[in-house]
Every structure is written in structure tokens, then in C-alpha cells.
Amino acid sequence: MDLPRHHTIREGDQRIVNPFTAEKLAALGRAVRLRPGDTLLDLASGRGEMLCTWARDHHISGTGVDISTVAVDMSRRRAGELGVTDRVTFVHGDAGGYVADQRVDVAACIGATWIGGGVDGTVAVLERSLRPGGMLLVGEPYWRLDPPDQETVEACHATHRDDFDDLTGLLRRFHGLGWDVVEWMLADPDSWDRYAAPQWLTIRRWLDENPDDELAGQFRAELTADPLRHVRRREFLGWGVFALLKR
């Protein structure tokens, strides 16, 4: 059980593997008013930057779960760099099937709602580990503008227009599930750029060093096409983290 090699190569040494800058991630931690001693479960925790930096800055503790062995190793190293190994734990496993041994104050899935088959299922997965009165954090794309054609839909990592809601529809979805939206932090074009553009340099350097690798053709095609696709993504696709409290 692991992520494909292509995925980990493309994201290289990026610590935040969604369209958030470090500044936005820090601002989110302040916005949701974390308190010393709070516990956090981060499902599909990526490289562990959110849990590690929040443990350092807000004196919380928690567990991250991710399917990628590379990401889990990077998370554990990051915890050591920030001096929080006594407060955070990272588990290699299926985030969609994970339930915390003890209910937590905050349960998060940031940009990986595929673990529950979409927003609805992921909210249900997170709630299994949440204490009464606790907060959910859900990161999810949404349409900023209605995509005009299928080419734009596919440039935005979607198969169909209905794969994402617009922002109004996403808020209504949360409300329909019985949750109040109490905070949010939204990506902007610059934070989209800081997520996407570093991958192009990583890919190019990797191609220069590995021209005969079995993935070279796939990466060559991606490097040619992705900057053009990104122009559409930054215009049409939004992304944000939404803080939810049970109504």
C-alpha cells in the first residue's frame, strides 16, 4: 500500500502538497483558535507540515495518517527538525479506514476527500474520531467560474463538471450534512502558483538526471502540458479549507 512513484517524484521536496503557502497554513492555525493541549487527527496528512508546525506553534498533539511511505518518512523527519516528536505520531496506513483510539478535538482531511469517496463520505469518516463539540477541517476544490468546456474540466483535475461544487454549492453541502461553516481559508492565484510551479522545475531536473527512466516519457509530456493547464486552473478552480462545527 503506497502512492505511485510518479506522485512522490513530481512533488519533490515540497512540504505542503496543496495550494497553500506556509503563511496561509499558519494563518489557518490561528484562525481556528487552537488551544494548548488540543488533539488533532490529520487523515491523508501528506508530508506532515500542518501537524508538525501547529504542534510547535500552538502546543497541540496529534496523529497523521497517510498511504505514502515517502510522506510518512518525511513527516517523521520534520517532527524531529521542529522538536515535536514527543507530541506527534505518523502512521502509514489507509486514512479512510482509520479511527482514533481516543476522540480528538480537531479532525482534518485537507485536500484528499477521495478517502471517503467525496465530501459527504469524508465528513462521516472524520466524525468517527471527533469528540462532541469538536471541529472538522475539510480541504476541497470548488469551481470559481463555470468551466466552459471539457478541456477546462480536465485541466482542473476533474473528469466531469459535477465532480466539484461551486463555492455556494459546497457551503450548502456542508449545511445539508448538519454542519455550520465557522471559518475558512481560501487559496489564491499566488498560492496555486507556489504549489504547481515548483513541480515543473523538479520534473525538469529529474528528466535531466534520468533520461532513460521508464517514467521519462510521461514526465516529458506533463512538463510540456501542465503550465498551460495551470493557466486554466488558477482562473477556474478554487480551493479552500473549511472549519465545521456540528449544528
Considering the chain, what is the average pLDDT of its residues?
96
With beta carbons less than 8 A apart as the criterion, state whether 1 and 94 touch: yes
List all residues 6 or more positions away from 79 whose beta carbon is below 8 Å from its beta carbon: 48, 52, 55, 85, 88, 90
Number of domains in the chain: 1
pLDDT at 13: 87
- From 132, 142, 137, 135, select the one nearest 171 (Cα to Cα): 142
- Rounded distance, CA 6 to CA 33, Å? 37
DSSP state of 96: G
pLDDT in tens, 71-108: 999 999 999 999 999 999 999 999 999 999 999 999 99
What's the whole-model pTM score? Answer: 0.96
Assigned domain for 97 exists: yes
Q: Does residue 2 have a pLDDT over 80? A: no
Distance CA 119, CA 239 (A): 13
The whole domain housing 28 covers 5-146+158-188+239-246
Q: Is residue 207 part of a domain?
A: no
142 found inside a domain: yes
Residue tagged 473528469 (cell numbers): 159
Question: Does residue 12 lie in a domain region?
Answer: yes
Q: What is the pLDDT of residues 211-237, one digit of tens each?
A: 999 999 999 999 999 999 999 999 999
Task: Kindly state whether residue 214 falls inside one of the protein's structural domains.
Answer: no
In a domain, 48, yes or no: yes
Mean pLDDT across 46-61: 98
| Per-residue pLDDT at 4 | 86
What integer pLDDT is reported at residue 1 of this predicted model?
Answer: 67
Domain contains 94: yes
In a domain, 205, yes or no: no
